Amino acid sequence: MADYLKDYQAELRKVGDVVFKSRHRSPFLIVIGRAAELVGESNSLDRTMVAAPSPEGIHAVALLHRVFPVTKAANAPRGPIRLGRSGENDIPIPEYSISKRQCYFDFDAEGVKIIDCGSTNGTFVGAAQIAPAEPVLIKDGTRIALGRFAFEFRTAVGFHAHVKSLLG
């Protein structure tokens, strides 16, 4: 299973456009950098740390360019796609600045919506923090900040185009 953009680039190079598109039909979140610095010293996975805006664009090596499919986990009950630090989520991100239940994604006739679950550090779409329990429509290329990390949302079509553009 691919975890980083470089893995998806290698896959696209190997299998070509048609097979790649057939394998990857869901949206993705790509870690594009650090959005904030933590306030506090604990890095415990048991509690969420409060984040403050990052004065520098220092990238965290472990998560940078990491790719997370926006899909339900295997054998998960129907409903929205949940993201958080806990392994009980459909999209688990083991990062202590992300809440156990950070946000979720819902699909409807308008498109994909992101909803914050009342997380400690909030969920930001662009530069604006979204209100808990208020759905916000997101589109291909939308920037999202969760905890101290910035992500880019990509639809399946947008993800393929993005990966292809990186091949040169």
User: Over the stretch 43-83, which tens digit does the pLDDT of each residue have?
Assistant: 455 566 566 555 444 334 578 999 999 999 988 899 999 99
Q: What does the block give as tokens for 49?
A: 């740390």
Would you tell me which CATH number, out of the four given (1.20.1600.10, 3.40.50.300, 2.60.200.20, 3.40.50.1000), belongs to the domain 5-166?
A: 2.60.200.20
Instruction: Please tell me the pTM assigned to this model.
Output: 0.86
pLDDT at position 128 over 70 = yes
